[in-house]
Amino acid sequence: MALRTFAVEPPRPEQSKARPELDAMQGKPAPALQVSNWINGKPVQLSELKGKIVVLDFWATWCGPCIKAIPHANDISRKYAEKGVVFIGVCAQRGAEKMADTVKTHQIAYPVAADLTGDTVKAYKVNSFPDYYIIDRNGNLRWADFMNGDVEKAIEFLLAEK
């Protein structure tokens, strides 16, 4: 099954070495979230979200591009919420002590949790921030290491699958 069936932004330089490992994860069950300190929602496991499309937004409090991407992520999150799309922000371990202040200051509207151990970042092989991972309705990781500009295309693709 071809997972990348629509045009995406070219890979970033740091993706090139990791891309084969990321591609190997796609189409398989998404790794569990090992996060805590939830804000804007109750703690949830991916297994509870089967039947929904899940967008994991890996970000960091110290990351300028992450902060800049928040309004766009908020807009997409709101736009697709009624269609069964769930956004979850996964805050990096480094700087997680500032997560609550950052969420409030920058008005992140979707649920956010901290990866205090770094285990979720490691399981998803996250190599930069911000980074987006899309999980389909069956709980499979469909696209790994996406850029913000491709998230809406991926959501539209999965919504059309039925």
Q: Which domains does the chain have, with CATH numbers?
A: 15-161 (3.40.30.10)
- Alpha helices per DSSP H over 53-112: 64-81, 99-105
Structure tokens at 123: 């399981």
Structure tokens at 36: 């805590």
Distance CA 54, CA 72 (A): 16
Q: What is the mean pLDDT of each run of 10 residues along the chain (162 residues)?
A: 48 63 92 97 95 97 96 96 98 97 97 97 94 96 88 94 80
Residue 132, strand partner residues: 57, 146
Q: By C-alpha distance, which of 33, 27, 24 is closest to 123?
A: 33
What is the per-residue pLDDT for 148? Answer: 81
Distance CA 95, CA 114 (A): 9
Residue 112, strand partner residues: 39, 89
Q: Could you tell me the pTM of the whole model? A: 0.89
What is the per-residue pLDDT for 136? Answer: 96
What is the per-residue pLDDT for 149? Answer: 83
Distance CA 81, CA 158 (A): 14
